[in-house]
């Protein structure tokens, strides 16, 4: 059947065509009709949301003032873009490969995952692997909640690692902004004049591991007693790097007196990624008996 058969006047006539070529620069598209006839298609109408067709897809075209105009995509199984019948009422689906904001500032950083479903600003995934698989190219400021993360961890007599955590992408890594904590009320002692992370009668270190950016907040407290009047220090060891006085707190302990000490501060200069923070203790003389020890760490995105 000749192409002229389809070139009837009037408006509103629609046909299905399989897309053969697409040239966005000239806004020209070629397609084939059911009988194999080739048609030239124009993309003249660009709404608030527009998608170029891909080669091999089936779209409807309509006759308008003598020209074939691109209309809308027809869902077919072989295009691999899924079936809208699998969605729930109120769901939104985007079938394009890339979402381009143009001059519009999209609040919430919408992202299209490899399964072509829409990932909203605050999405929920099981763990880090599921999140990273769905969001291959995250943008700064994106927020994702993980219901069963695998990275956060803590050691101590009591651990405060939530079953779910909030993560924010800071442009480099997904920072855990949920506070994680560890606590021990095991009475243990040390006379070491250099920092140690375990005590004589408590071999379990008080530690927290999580993903941070280059900055994190540390909150630490403890109670200590010494038989003689001597200074005591509480600090934090970062990964395998020894603790320092700069990251610690000093208290002068009167003889045989229970003294509480603590510090909250922002630590900088971290290597973005998984970091482990461990309480460390130093004795200025005599024998320190540490009664309670607490550590809370929060990533700063």
Residue 149 forms part of a structural domain:
no
CA distance linking residue 222 with residue 244, whole number of Å:
17
Domain end, chosen from 51, 78, 105, is at 78
Identify the domain containing residue 279 by its residue range.
Answer: 158-299
Domain with 209 in it: what CATH number? 2.60.120
> Does residue 252 sit in the same domain as residue 178?
yes
Question: Is the confidence at residue 256, as pLDDT, over 70?
Answer: yes
Q: What is the pLDDT of residues 214-236, one digit of tens each?
A: 999 999 999 999 999 999 999 99
* pLDDT value for 122: 60
- The verdict on 162 and 135 lying in the same domain is no
Q: Which residues pair with 218 in a beta bridge?
A: 265, 297
| 80 pLDDT more than 80 | no
Q: What is the pLDDT of residue 100?
A: 58
- Counting the structural domains of the chain, the total is 3
Q: What is the mean pLDDT of the chain?
A: 86
Residue 27, pLDDT score = 87
Specify whether 125 is located in the same domain as 35.
no
DSSP secondary structure, 139-187, as one string? -TT-EEEESS-SS-EEESSEEE--SSEEEEE-SSSEEE-S-EEEEE---
Q: Helix (H, G, I), strand (E, B), or coil: what is residue 205?
A: coil
Greatest Cα-to-Cα distance within the chain, rounded to the nearest angstrom = 105
Share of the chain above pLDDT 70, in %: 87
Q: What is the pLDDT of residue 130?
A: 93
Given a cut of 80, whether residue 104 has pLDDT beyond it is no
185 and 113 in a single domain? The answer is no
Task: Say what the pLDDT of residue 178 is.
Answer: 97
Residue 6 domain-assigned (yes or no): no
**Which of 78, 108, 125 is the last residue in one of the domains?**
78
Q: What is the pLDDT of residue 112?
A: 47
11-45: burial string, b at 16+ Cβ within 10 Å, e else: eeeebebbbeebeeeeeebebebeeebebebebee
pLDDT band of 99, cuts 50, 70, 90: low
Classify residue 205: in a domain, yes or no.
Answer: yes
Kindly report the backbone phi and psi dihedral angles of residue 86, in degrees, each rounded to the nearest multiple of 5, phi listed first: -85, -10
Mean pLDDT of 59-77: 88
Looking at 48, 78, 108, the residue that finishes a domain is 78
Could you tell me if residue 3 is inside a domain?
Answer: no
Residue 121 lies inside a defined structural domain of this protein: yes
Return the closest-CA partner of residue 193 out of 117, 122, 264, 281.
281
Same domain, 166 and 294: yes
What pLDDT score was predicted for residue 175? 98
Residue 4 located in a structural domain: no
Is 166 a domain residue? yes
In percent, the amount of the chain with pLDDT more than 90 equals 63
Convert the pLDDT of each residue in 190-213 to its tens digit.
999 999 999 998 999 999 999 999
């Amino acid at each position: 059947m000749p192409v002229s058969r389809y070139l009837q006047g009037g408006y509103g006539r629609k046909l299905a065509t399989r897309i053969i070529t697409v040239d966005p620069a000239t806004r020209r598209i070629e397609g084939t009709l059911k009988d194999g006839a080739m048609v030239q298609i124009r993309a003249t109408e660009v709404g608030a949301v527009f998608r170029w067709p891909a080669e091999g897809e089936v779209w409807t075209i309509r006759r308008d003032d003598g020209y074939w105009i691109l209309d809308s995509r027809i869902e077919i199984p072989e295009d691999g873009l899924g079936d809208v019948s699998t969605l729930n009422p109120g769901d939104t689906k985007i079938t394009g490969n890339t979402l381009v904001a143009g001059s519009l500032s999209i609040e919430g950083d919408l992202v299209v995952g490899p399964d072509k479903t829409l990932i909203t600003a605050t999405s929920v995934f099981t763990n880090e692997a599921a999140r990273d698989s769905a969001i291959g190219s995250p943008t700064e400021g994106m927020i994702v909640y993980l219901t069963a993360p695998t990275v956060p961890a803590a050691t101590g007599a009591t651990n405060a690692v939530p079953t779910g955590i909030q993560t924010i992408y800071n442009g480099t890594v997904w920072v855990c902004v949920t506070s994680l904590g560890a606590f021990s009320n095991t009475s243990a002692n040390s006379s070491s004049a250099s920092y140690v992370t375990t005590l004589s009668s408590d071999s379990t270190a008080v530690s927290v591991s999580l993903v941070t950016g280059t900055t994190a907040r540390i909150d630490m407290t403890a109670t200590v007693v010494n038989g003689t009047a001597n200074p005591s220090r509480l600090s934090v060891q970062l990964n395998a790097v020894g603790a320092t006085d700069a990251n610690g707190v000093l208290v002068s302990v009167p003889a045989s007196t229970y003294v509480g000490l603590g510090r909250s501060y922002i630590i900088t200069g971290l290597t973005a990624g998984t970091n482990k923070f461990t309480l460390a203790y130093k004795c200025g003389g005599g024998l320190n008996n540490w009664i309670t020890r607490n550590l809370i760490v929060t990533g700063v995105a």
